Amino acid sequence: MKLWMDVMRDIESVMNDYERLFDKWAEGGVDGLVIGPMYFDAAALYARARYVKKEREPTPCFDPNPEVYRRLGVEAPPPPPTEKSPEERKRLERMLTDARARGWSVWIFTPGAGSGPGGTGHIFADEKTQAAFCARMIDTLEHFPMANGGIMDGPEWGYEIAPHHMNYRSYFFNDLPESVAPKCAELGYDYQALVAAKDRLLDTLHHLDSSQVKRYASGGLLGSLQLFGSDPDLMSWLKFRIDALTDCCKRIRACLEAEMSHKAKLGYGPRSACFAPLCGYDFAQVAKHVDVLLPKHYFWHRGFDGLYGTAYRYVETLTLWNPGLSDAEALAVVKALFGLELPGVQDRSDFDKGFPQEFFDVVVKQETVAALAAVDDPNRVVPWVDAGRRPHDGDPFTAEDLRRMLIAAQEAGLQRFLYHHHGNLTEGEWSVMSELCGKAWQPDYEGGYQPPDEDVL
């Protein structure tokens, strides 16, 4: 098994010492680099970042090419500040060239970051918003031709129902703004019928009782339909989510192929397999339009985007909305929705007991197999992996958890993963990954390589 290293908010620290770092990473099994968004001092872009260098404002790594935006009929982003960091820009380009010369895969993360103004609607429905997004991707990838391609982290629909996710992009019930009505019509859906189905589902989830769950939750597809109201428009809404996301992905790929000066690959980072359909991902359909799928192998508790944390929030929310529902019954609803059964978890307190080995043997393998089944080549699946002290603000996912997860995924057929991200890498994680993927790392405190182990979101 091999890995790609993700470099996000710490571009400068890597590019200032990239030759030595690349040598050490290669020893540990790294054969790819994912880097971006393409800003210096990028930590200041993220309001939730806990470790922010405030020496200056975020600075784009390149000047926009106005011709790209004119060609696609959109406005270019504002020009960068007068201080353009020419030496840093040159070092960055030398670093990417060096990585590619080593035979590594080189990818720009979120090449659409920093796009100029688009339309007023949702990216899945608004052609001008899509054009602005594509123009920035093209501009970025043309400026860094040494990169193999770009990786999109979304766009996607939401999948959380917890009320405190109301203002997050992941909140499920925020996902039918009026701006998508024309897209509904284009794809053959009745927008008002979908909105009504969304509202009925929200009401249904507030009026579950034990007898319903016991009657229907374990009844497979037909039982689940009855549990959630036997609502054909609800099924239409879920299908629309898949159709709209797939169509957007198809259009982005077509635009890149038509407008770019050179061929570039495209990667897409969907949620983990069990949650992916709710977000609008049909892995097999998306895989037709991208070169690499990067599903999130995120399993921690609390924080955001971790599988345990999301399952817990569903249980917490369903029991809040339905005081007569037990934790076990809420977990049965989660299983009916996602097909997800968590070994050893019977109530909320069990989420804090750590991961039993059966979790890795069953859940991690299922999530890996589901992704691999969508492609014709296992090299086209490179799951995002996060671990360490505070993955996505979540509870620690230890080095031993990481080891068990990677071994289970490898046994399921995985050949490569993407570590997210270098700024947070701990000694324990690097020890595990280098042992499994290359030459086992040994600490060298006299000038050798030490993982940063910072606290960067």
DSSP string computed for 191-232: HHHHHHHHHHHHHHHTS--HHHHHHHTTSHHHHHHHHTT--H
Give per-residue pLDDT as tens, 188-232: 999 999 999 999 999 999 999 999 999 999 999 999 999 999 999
pLDDT at residue 46 in the model: 54
% of the chain residues with pLDDT over 70: 96
Is the pLDDT confidence value at 413 over 60? yes
* Top-confidence residue, 173 or 45: 173
pLDDT-derived band of residue 447, with 50, 70 and 90 as boundaries? Answer: confident
Residue 246: CB atoms within 10 Å:
20
pTM: 0.95
Residue 231 lies in a domain: no
CA distance 368 to 383: 8
For the chain, what is the total number of helices (H) and then of strands (E)? 18, 11
Residue 148 lies in a domain: yes
Residue 214 lies in a domain: no
CA angle 240, 212, 278 (to 5 degrees): 20
CA distance 318 to 207: 9
Q: Given the structure tokens 């097909």, which residue do they identify?
A: 339
Q: Name the average pLDDT for the chain.
A: 94
Residue 443 lies in a domain: no
**Helix H or strand E encompassing 117:** none
Residue 172 lies in a domain: no
Residue 102 lies in a domain: yes
Q: How many domains does the chain fold into? A: 1
Is the pLDDT confidence value at 54 over 60? no
Residue 359 lies in a domain: yes
- Find the mean pLDDT for residues 38-52: 62
pLDDT at residue 169 in the model: 63
% of the chain residues with pLDDT over 90: 89
- CATH number of the domain that 53 lies in? 3.20.20.80
Give the up-direction half-sphere exposure of residue 262: CA atoms within 13 A in the CB hemisphere. Answer: 13
At 249, list the tokens. 């992905």
pLDDT-derived band of residue 163, with 50, 70 and 90 as boundaries? Answer: confident
pLDDT at residue 50 in the model: 46
Q: Which domain holds residue 318?
A: 2-163+238-437
- Find the mean pLDDT for residues 160-178: 85
pLDDT-derived band of residue 80, with 50, 70 and 90 as boundaries? Answer: confident
SS3 assignment, position 60: strand
Helix residue spans in 290-326 (DSSP H): 307-321
pLDDT at residue 445 in the model: 80
pLDDT at residue 48 in the model: 42
pLDDT at residue 159 in the model: 94
pLDDT at residue 49 in the model: 44
- Find the mean pLDDT for residues 423-451: 93
pLDDT at residue 55 in the model: 55
pLDDT at residue 59 in the model: 87
pLDDT at residue 168 in the model: 62
- Find the mean pLDDT for residues 273-297: 98
CA distance 173 to 96: 41
> Can you state the percent helix, strand and coil of the chain, rounding each to 5?
50, 10, 40
pLDDT-derived band of residue 118, with 50, 70 and 90 as boundaries? Answer: very high
Question: In angstroms, what CA-CA distances link 286 with 105, 247, 252, 292, 309?
Answer: 21, 9, 12, 10, 26
Is the pLDDT confidence value at 84 over 80? no
Residue 229 lies in a domain: no
